[in-house]
With several copies, the nearest count.
Chain A
Amino acid sequence: MRVGVIGARGYTGGELLRLLYTHPKVEVTYVTSRQHAGKPVGSVHPNLRGLLDLKFEEFNVSRASEKCDYIFMAVPHGTSMDITPQLLEVGLKVIDLSADFRLKSEEEFKKYYGPHKRPELLGKAIYGLPELHRGELRGAQFVACPGCMATSAIIGAAPIVSSFKVDFEKIVVDAKIGSSAAGREADESTHHPERTGVVRPYKVVGHRHTAEIEQELSGLVGRKVKVALSAHAVDIVRGILSTLHFFLEEGVDEKEVWKAFRSFYSDSPFVRIVRQKIGLYKLPDPKAVIGSNFCDIGFELDNDNSRLVVLSAIDNLVKGASGQAVQCMNLMEGWDETLGLNFPGLFP
Chain B
Amino acid sequence: MAKGNCPECDAKIEIEDPVIREVTECPECGAELEVVEVKGDKIKFSVVELSGEDWGE
Contact = CB atoms under 8 A, between A and B. Distances in A.
Contacts, number: 49
B30 A278 contact: yes
Interface stretch (B4-12, B13-21, B37-45): B4-12
Interface string A199-210: 010110000100
Interface residues of A, number: 24
A273 B26 CA distance: 13
**Residues of A contacting B: mostly:** mixed
Interface in A185-227: 187-190, 200, 202-203, 208
B57 to A, nearest CB: 7
B55 A258 contact: no
A254 B9 contact: yes
A278 B10 contact: no
B50 A277 contact: yes
B29 A276 contact: yes
Contact of B11 (A179, A202, A203, A258): A258
A202 B9 CA distance: 20
14 contacts: A182-B55, A182-B56, A202-B54, A202-B57, A203-B56, A233-B56, A254-B9, A258-B29, A277-B26, A277-B29, A277-B32, A278-B32, A278-B53, A279-B30
Given A258-B9, A277-B8, 19 more contacts: A179-B56, A181-B56, A189-B56, A202-B56, A202-B57, A203-B54, A208-B57, A233-B56, A255-B9, A258-B10, A258-B28, A259-B10, A273-B28, A275-B29, A276-B30, A277-B30, A277-B31, A278-B50, A278-B53
